[in-house]
């Protein structure tokens, strides 16, 4: 992911009737389109993947597979058959299930989700019984043991993960990214796109700031260009 285009993944958390317009506008400007639970449930994975591929876009299938190893392995195989560029598993499914996904990924990349960026510290303690950073580190180590290509984490954990030599080869993608000109909405542990790239992310996931940009920003393409400028500045300052 060396180009500015590849540094941006657009979260298509939108109704299906907006997908073609957004992909048509943005496929030349962004590296991938993240398909999550909204479109998976409303439309189905094969149809939405085919739609995006037919328009020249690449797909990050955000299904967060989390089940017994056999089920996760079969889901991974199905995702690979569809030719998605990236799919993810949730690290809480355990090393054996993540390994099953890796064994069936073929040409796709598999990323492990750690702790959701919508969770505040009190939520993380309640759900996982540990602070968010400690749990992210544990999940990252489990994911590394399973042989995944990378992990998905809050940008606020990038510095911590970057200090772990045994995890240095893991690629890192960060949601919870909000430009200074966009509202944070329901994201809690956030950072700007430039800040996330500077901290070690290979790519950032951005949804509403691109798909529903503020009027003063302009179109989705205008929003992408602003984010690319910010990322470019961060890379040049390294």
Known catalytic residue: 47? no
Instruction: Catalytic residue, from 58, 64, 133, 172: name it.
Output: 64
- 6 burial via Cβ count (<10 Å: 0-12, 13-18, 19+): middle
Largest CA distance in the chain: 49
CA distances from 69 to 6, 11, 158, 231 (A): 31, 27, 28, 38
CA distances from 80 to 33, 38, 234 (A): 16, 21, 33
On whether the CB atoms of residues 180 and 162 are closer than 8 A, the answer is no
Report H helices in 55-207: 69-81, 95-103, 121-128, 132-146, 158-162, 193-198
CA distances from 187 to 78, 126, 184 (A): 30, 18, 6
Alpha carbon distance 114, 5 (integer Å): 25
Q: Any idea which residues carry the catalytic annotation?
A: 64
């Amino acid at each position: 992911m060396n180009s500015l285009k590849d540094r941006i993944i657009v979260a298509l958390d939108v109704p299906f009737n907006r997908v073609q317009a957004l992909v048509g506008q943005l496929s030349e400007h962004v590296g991938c389109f993240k398909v999550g639970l909204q479109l998976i449930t409303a439309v189905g994975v094969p149809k939405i993947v085919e739609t995006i591929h037919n328009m020249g876009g690449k797909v990050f299938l955000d299904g967060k597979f989390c089940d017994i190893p056999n089920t996760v392995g079969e889901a991974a195989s199905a995702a690979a058959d569809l030719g998605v560029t990236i799919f993810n598993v949730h690290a809480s499914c355990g090393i054996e299930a993540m390994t099953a996904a890796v064994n069936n990924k073929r040409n796709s990349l598999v990323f492990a989700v750690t702790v959701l960026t919508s969770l505040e510290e009190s939520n993380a303690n309640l759900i996982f019984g540990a602070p968010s950073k400690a749990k992210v580190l544990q999940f990252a180590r489990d994911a590394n043991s399973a042989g995944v290509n990378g992990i998905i984490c809050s940008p606020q954990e990038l510095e911590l993960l970057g200090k772990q030599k045994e995890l240095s080869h893991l690629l890192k993608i960060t949601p919870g990214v909000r430009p200074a000109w966009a509202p944070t909405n329901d994201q809690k542990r956030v950072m700007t796109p430039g800040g996330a790239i500077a901290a070690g992310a290979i790519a950032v996931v951005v949804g509403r700031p691109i798909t529903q940009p503020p009027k003063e920003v302009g179109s989705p393409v205008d929003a992408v260009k602003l984010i690319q400028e910010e990322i470019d500045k961060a890379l040049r300052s390294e």
